[in-house]
Structure 1
Amino acid sequence: MGIFQSERLDDRKKGRDIIEKLKKSNSKTLIIHYSCESFFNLEGRTPRITSICIKNRGNNLTKTFSIHLQAQFYKKDLCCITDIENDFLEKQMLKEFFEFVKRHSTHNWVHWNMRNSSYGFEAIGNRYRILGGNGKEIEDQFKFDLPENLGLIYTYNFEKHKPSGQLLNLAKRNKISDRDALIGKDEAKSFEDRDYLKLHMSTSRKVEIIDRILTLEEKNKLKVNASIIKIYGLTPTGIFEIVRNNWILFLIWSLIVGFIGAAAEPIIQFISGTSNFGN
């Protein structure tokens, strides 16, 4: 148990160090999120990338890449896009995205669970390769999975998964607007229904939510669904950290220590005087 509690504080420090690193390099930090087709009923085909949004924390500007924007650029009727046209538009969208990546490859890329070939940077790269492109890869040292970092700080049960997923549930807990944000299956349905604007607005909103969560964590103001005991552990060091990070508990602790010190002073003086008398 002692080893586990020690690891808990080590993990917390590691997570906090990452947040501090991002805070200090705010001008070179990007927030990314994307949406895609449903993972089901594709007969083995990889899900199409539908919309990518990136927010630059240095200037607060958001860059959007989406199939529906490409359709408008190429004067396509949104109601009647064929699969072949979708392939072409997706490829053009991903071409622009990877040109952006090439210009910002050494920035910090903060994301939400974009870490495998099903959903992540690799999945985006695979789609571009399938369509005939060859995109610039972002080195792992520049990728920062925010829920992974929050898991280190607060344990991985920092928020419930149901009913809307950790991202949207955490947004609601911290009173962050989730207007226009959709859960994954609703985003996929929006694409199937050709409701491209709705899909784009959801992706954009989630980028704002991730940015706001990171900001709150940088200020030590993020509220999570984990108890203080689980966050810090039950070691003396963990208990001290609990007290140190809560001004009310720290005040009470200071008063108790002061009271004990004041009460013990006459006893110490008496013992000291007795010792001197003996000499």
Structure 2
Amino acid sequence: MTSIATRNLKTGQTKSWSIHKEAELSKQLSSMQAELNKFEKSMLKGFFQWLDKHKDCRFLHWNMRDENFGFFALEHRFRVLGGKPVELPDDKKVDLARELVALYGRNYAPHADSRGRKGRIMALAELNNASDQDALPGADEAAAFVNAEYIKMHQSTLRKLDMFANFFERTHEKSLKTKSKWYERNGVHPVVLIEIVKDHPIYTTVIVLSGLAIAAVNFSRFLALFN
């Protein structure tokens, strides 16, 4: 782990931790590379101390669901380094990536942007003209780690945090631009509509309105998560 960042969606206040910042505070930047575990542990300690004070909040995240990349990974790594992590209950975690699929369908965004950068994060930012300056795709982040470009990685973390907040706000306002079709957003497949129109034309309006009701329920469920 090299950097972590959180933002209060109501106030916009951002809090971040990184191994580079820990080394800088310890006035040991010159010896940082030789003591990465020490600074990583200090970073994680700071994060979990903060989390302990905010564990009643809901945490919006992007695919942080397993031990390779997620809350469990943070907990596991801190234990390996000798720390005792705070375990955030699952009902306090909201995966924005999954919520977008639930709201807009699986095809809401490509898996790469027009420049070939992999990840729906980049593609969704491009669709919405959201700034992605300094944000690194997964492969570039891995390369930055190998090259010990920790500041670059931290800047990427902060930019992605901006992007997630942007996606959430647009979703909340129902203004997020996606690639999903109308029927994907409203839970109605076109083949079903065609059959209904052929056999029972009068039902068309009922089904369409039902689709809109499904969308309203989906958005209400999403917004209720943060009430």
> TM-score, with normalisation over the residues of structure 1?
0.66
Provide the residue aligned with 2:23 in structure 1. 71
**Which whole-Å CA distance do the structure 1 matches of 2:76 and 2:6 have between them?**
19
Specify the code of the residue in structure 1 equivalent to 2:126. Answer: K
Provide the residue aligned with 1:142 in structure 2. 92
Is 1:195 aligned to 2:120, yes or no? Answer: no
Task: Return the offset for 1:181.
Answer: 0.4
**Which whole-Å CA distance do the structure 2 matches of 1:197 and 1:229 have between them?**
43
Unaligned runs of 5+ in 1: 1-48, 245-279
Specify the code of the residue in structure 1 equivalent to 2:17. Answer: F
Provide the residue aligned with 2:12 in structure 1. 60
Aligned length: 195
Task: Return the offset for 1:243.
Answer: 7.5
**Which whole-Å CA distance do the structure 2 matches of 1:161 and 1:81 have between them?**
34
- SS of the residue corresponding to residue 81 of structure 1 reads helix
Unaligned runs of 5+ in 2: 194-203, 214-227
Percent sequence identity is: 34
Provide the residue aligned with 1:172 in structure 2. 126
By relative contact order (CA 8 Å, sep 6+), the higher-ranking structure is: 1
Provide the residue aligned with 2:208 in structure 1. 239
User: How much is the aligned-residue C-alpha RMSD, in angstroms?
Assistant: 1.9
Provide the residue aligned with 1:100 in structure 2. 50
Q: How does 1:104-253 map to 2 (within 5 A)?
A: 104-162=54-112, 163=116, 164-232=118-186, 233-234=188-189, 236=204, 237-240=206-209
Residues 239/135 of structure 1: CA separation in 2 closer, same or farther (3 Å cut): same
**Which whole-Å CA distance do the structure 2 matches of 1:96 and 1:140 have between them?**
21
Provide the residue aligned with 1:22 in structure 2. none
Superposition misfits of 4+ residues, deviation over 3 angstroms: 234-238, 241-244
1:68-112 C-alpha deviation (Å, 9 max, x unpaired)? 001101111357621xx1111000000000001100001010000
Bigger-Rg structure (1/2): 1
- SS of the residue corresponding to residue 77 of structure 2 reads helix
